[in-house]
Amino acid sequence: MKLRINIITLFPDFFNSALEASLLGKAIEKNIIEVNRIQLRDFAINKHNQVDDTPYGGGSGMVLMVEPVKKAIESIPEKTYKVLLTPRGYSWKQNRAEALYQKVTTDFESLTLICAHYEGIDERVVEYIDESISIGDYILSGGEPAALSVIDCLARLVPNFMGNSESLHDESFNKEGYIEYPQYTRPPEFDGQEVPGVLLSGHHANITKWREEQAKRAYAKFKPV
């Protein structure tokens, strides 16, 4: 099933490299993922291409206007699920990614990600979206890096995106209370550090047990707070 994504952004070129490289670029070439970038300034309210203004009540910075964003949304011809990337959104986690993917591919024809910028976006935009998402409790210069994170996360759920679909099963956060076990490859010894002997033993039951134990330790040490 093809995953179609629209991005409403002031900076469509931000995505150039990421959409051409690695697995994501290959998936777009294979046409199992389609990403359409929509330049917000194409829906500016005047000849000066204005899409932002000073905030009511004072304060520093500029705020994206609601009217250009609404027009950009309305320009999308298909039935689309609209997501605003904002600090006031739901926390982005793997189970939410899976739920969003299921919703978009079952009930909609595409997903639309709206990237705020500058000091933020007029709060009235929430009347024209379906959901708000935050990718973490930290500050970004705009919604574009967040949109890219969401796209990459959802892309991994598309059938045939991964060369080996089995690799999805043991990944961190793929199930509750789970962070992936440590991985090693050649050489067996480097700079005085040796690969755990169990991984070289060829004993699959012992390897599985070791990995399960290491995954539990990793979650206990690094689990989200």
Model confidence pLDDT, tens digit, residues 71-83: 999 999 999 999 9
The closest of 151, 152, 148, 155 to 30, measured between CA atoms, is 155
**Rounded mean pLDDT, 142-154:** 97
Structural domain boundaries enclosing 129: 3-155
Do 94 and 9 fall into the same domain? yes
Band of residue 170 on the pLDDT scale cut at 50, 70, 90: low
Last residue of a domain, one of 155, 180, 200: 155
**CB proximity list for 131: less than 8 A, separation 6 or greater:** 81, 82, 83, 84, 89, 90, 100
Do 106 and 188 fall into the same domain? no
Last residue of a domain, one of 106, 132, 155: 155
Q: Residue 161 domain-assigned?
A: no
Predicted local confidence at residue 164, as pLDDT: 55
Can you name the residues that pair with 120 across neighbouring β-strands?
Answer: 117
> Phi first, then psi: what are they for 149, rounded to 5°?
-65, -45
Q: Supply the Cα-derived Rg of the chain in whole angstroms.
A: 21
> Taking the complete model, does pTM exceed 0.85, yes or no?
yes
Do 188 and 118 fall into the same domain? no
Distance CA 82, CA 10 (A): 17
Distance CA 19, CA 149 (A): 12
Band of residue 12 on the pLDDT scale cut at 50, 70, 90: very high
Q: How many CB atoms lie within 10 A of CB 93?
A: 13
The yes-or-no verdict on residue 173 having pLDDT over 90 is no
Asked if residue 82 lies in contact with residue 112, where contact means CB atoms within 8 angstroms, the answer is yes
Predicted local confidence at residue 165, as pLDDT: 54
Band of residue 222 on the pLDDT scale cut at 50, 70, 90: confident
Last residue of a domain, one of 131, 155, 179: 155
CATH of the domain at 194: 1.10.1270.20
Q: Which residue has the tokens 């005085």?
A: 192
pLDDT digits (tens, 9 = 90+) for 22-40: 999 999 999 999 999 999 9
Strand 189-190 with 193-194, pairing: antiparallel
Q: What is the mean pLDDT of the chain?
A: 92
Do 103 and 75 fall into the same domain? yes
pLDDT digits (tens, 9 = 90+) for 185-204: 999 999 999 999 999 999 99
Q: Which stretch of 15-29, 77-91, 163-177 has the lowest confidence by average pLDDT?
A: 163-177
The torsion angle over the Cα atoms of residues 163, 165, 171 and 176, rounded to 10 degrees, is 160
Band of residue 219 on the pLDDT scale cut at 50, 70, 90: confident
Band of residue 140 on the pLDDT scale cut at 50, 70, 90: very high
